[in-house]
Structure formats: structure tokens, C-alpha cells
């Protein structure tokens, strides 16, 4: 992906872009790992969220 970006934006790409993209990619991998680790494990919060969501009217649910 990084190599593709370098190629696509050759004139604008510099070391600041390289650092920012690397940082963003590492952050994404971290968030993705956390999400996979907790996938399907809402714990006690799942029931509370169901109760809250069920108590909302249609307009409020739509906004959410």
C-alpha cells in the first residue's frame, strides 16, 4: 500500500507523508487487533445496550 501511494503521488510525497502513513497504518493494525480480540464479547454491557436501545423512540434510534 505504501509503495502504491508513493507511486500515485510522486510529486507531493515526502518524508512527512511517509512518517504519517506509517503511524496511521500501525494505529489501524492496533485498533483492528483490539476489535478482533473483543469481537462478540460485549460482556455485561451487551444487555445494558440492548435495554437502552429498546427504550429509544424510532427518531432517536435513526439518529444513532
Residue 8's H or E segment, with its range, is: helix 2-8
- Copy the grid coordinates of residue 50: 440492548
Compute the 3-state secondary structure of the chain and give helix, strand, coil in percent, each to the nearest 5. 75, 0, 25
Residue 43: what pLDDT?
65
Q: Residue 28's Cα: distance from chain center in Å?
A: 7
Query: In the structure grid, which three cell numbers stand for residue 18, read together?
Result: 511517509
- Is the model's pLDDT at 42 over the cut of 70? no
- How far out from the chain centre does Cα 25 lie? 11
Residue 40's pLDDT is: 67
Query: Which pLDDT value is given to residue 55?
Result: 92
What mean pLDDT is predicted for residues 51-61? 88
pLDDT, average across residues 4-29: 88
**Residue 14, pLDDT above cutoff 70:** yes
Task: Specify the pLDDT at position 35.
Answer: 80
Amino acid at each position: 500500500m505504501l509503495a502504491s501511494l508513493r507511486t500515485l503521488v510522486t510529486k507531493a510525497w515526502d518524508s512527512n507523508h511517509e512518517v504519517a502513513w506509517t503511524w496511521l497504518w500501525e494505529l489501524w493494525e492496533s485498533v483492528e487487533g483490539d476489535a478482533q480480540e473483543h469481537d462478540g464479547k460485549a460482556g455485561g454491557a451487551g444487555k445494558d445496550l440492548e435495554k437502552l436501545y429498546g427504550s429509544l423512540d424510532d427518531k432517536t434510534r435513526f439518529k444513532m
